[in-house]
Amino acid sequence: MRSVRFVSLEFSLTAVVHALVVSVLAWVFCATPNQASAQGGFLDQFVDPEDNHVDVSTFLDNGGFVPVPIIITEPAVGGGAGLAAVFLKLPEAGSNNDPTRTIFGFAGTGNNSKIGFGARFGSAFDGDLKYRAVVGGGSINLDFFPLGIPQGLSFNNEAIFANAEARYRLGESEFFLGPTLTAIQTTVSPNLGGGTPLPPALSRDIKMNALGLSLHFDNRDNPFTPRNGLNASAKVRRFDQAIGSDVDYTATDLFAAYFHSPNDKWTLSGMVLGSGTNGDTPFFMEPSINIRGVPFNRYQGDRVISTEFEVRRQLSPRWAMVGFAGYGKATSDGAPDISADSEAATFGAGIRYKLARKYGLDVGIDIARGPEDTVVYLQFGHAWAMNMD
C-alpha cells in the first residue's frame, strides 16, 4: 500500500496484489466457450451464463476466493513465487459501498526474500467511510544505489509492519479526508558477502511510527478496471519521536490518475506520482521511480516523480490490449546516502482478460522495456491499483 513506505516490503506487497492467477489464465487461454460450458456442477460457478466464457463472478458471490499463485518477475528481488487468497464481495443492492477486498498471502524470491501479509479494504455507512488495514512481516534483500554506484549495495531488511487508514466523505462531494497510522519495526543490515565492509552505522534497528492525514478524490466508474473518472490523493505522514519513532522525518505523496473513454473501444489514461521526504529519513525509506520497466529502488531520491500514459483497445467484451509509456525522475538534493540525480524512460504493451464481469475485474500480462532490461508484469486489476486505494 502506498501509505506503507517501508519500500522493500511495500514492493513485495505490490507484487503480490498485482500478481495474476496463473492457473486461471492458463484455463482462459486454453479453454473454449464450449469446453467451459460443458462442465457441470461445481465448475458452473466459473462460467458466465451470458457468454459461456470463463468467469469467477458467481464463485466470488458464493463466498469463494481467487487463489493466486504468485509469480514475481521484478528483477530487483531475483524473481519469485508464492500464493495468495483474494476474497471479493460486492455490496448489497442499492448500497453505495465499495466492493470489500480481503487478501492473505505469502511469497519468497530468488534472492531469499520472504514476506507474509494480510490486508482488508472496504467501506461503510453507504460509502461515506472508506477504510483499509494492512499487517505483515518479512525478510527482504534489496540492492540500493548510493551516489549512482552501478553495481549497487545489498541490504537485508527484517521487519514487521502495520498500516491503518480511515477517511470520511466531505459533505456530498467525492472528497474524503482522514487519518493514517503507520508502525514499522525493522532491522537493516548490509549483505557484505565478499565485498568491501560497510560502515557500522548502516546496520541499524529502527522503530518508525507515523501519524498522517490523507485527502482523496475518487469518481471512477469501477474500482478495479476503470474506464472513466479521476482518482487523486495527497498524503502527509510525520514520523516523530513524540509517538515512539527512532527517526524524525516527513513523507509526502501526491498521486493522480485520469481515465477517459471516448467510445466503447478506446480508453485513454494517465498517471502522475510525486513523492518526497524531509528530515532524518533512513536511506531505505527514500522513494524511487515507480513505473513499469524500472527495477524497484533502482533510481532513488528525496524528490521523485513518476508518470505513465496508457492506451487501451477493447478487442471484444472479454479481451483488450494496452500500450503504455513512462518517464520518471529522481533528485537527491545532494543527500549522501542515495542516488545522484537520475531519470528513466520506459514503454511496453500488454493483454487483458475480464475475469469477473460483475466486478469489472481484469487480469493480464504486461511486457515493459526499461533502461536496463525487459520486465514481465502479471496484473490483477489495473496496473496503478495500489496507488488508487
pLDDT, residue 5, reads 30
Cell representation of residue 360: 469489472
Partners of 176 in the β-ladder: 169, 216
Say what the pLDDT of residue 243 is: 94
Is the pLDDT confidence value at 58 over 70? Answer: yes
Residue 1 or 261, more confident: 261
- Range with the lowest mean pLDDT among 30-44, 106-120, 289-303? 30-44
Highest mean pLDDT among 49-63, 300-314, 328-342: 300-314
- Least Cα distance to 97 among 269, 236, 264, 223 occurs for 223
More confident residue, 4 or 285: 285
CA nearest to 216, candidates 226, 198, 230, 202: 230
φ/ψ of residue 294, rounded to 5:
-115, 120
pTM score: 0.79
Instruction: Provide the strand spans (E) within the chain.
Output: 65-72, 80-89, 100-109, 114-124, 129-144, 153-169, 175-190, 204-218, 229-239, 249-260, 266-279, 303-314, 319-331, 342-356, 361-369, 374-380
Least confident range from 40-44, 191-195, 229-233, 354-358: namely 191-195
Domains for the chain: give ranges and CATH numbers.
7-388 (2.40.160.50)
What value does the mean pLDDT take over residues 311-324? 96
Residue 248 has pLDDT above 90, yes or no: yes
User: How far is C-alpha 214 from the geometric centre of its chain's CA atoms?
Assistant: 18
The x, y and z cell numbers of residue 291, run together, are 513505473
Cα distances (angstroms) measured from residue 94 to each of 98, 275, 360: 12, 38, 17
Indicate if the pLDDT at residue 339 is higher than 80.
no
Give the residue-averaged pLDDT of 226-242.
96
User: What mean pLDDT value characterizes the chain?
Assistant: 81
What is the distance between the terminal CA atoms of the chain, rounded to a whole angstrom? 8
Residue 329's pLDDT is 94
Alpha-helix residue ranges (DSSP H) falling in the chain: 7-17, 22-30, 33-38, 57-61, 385-388
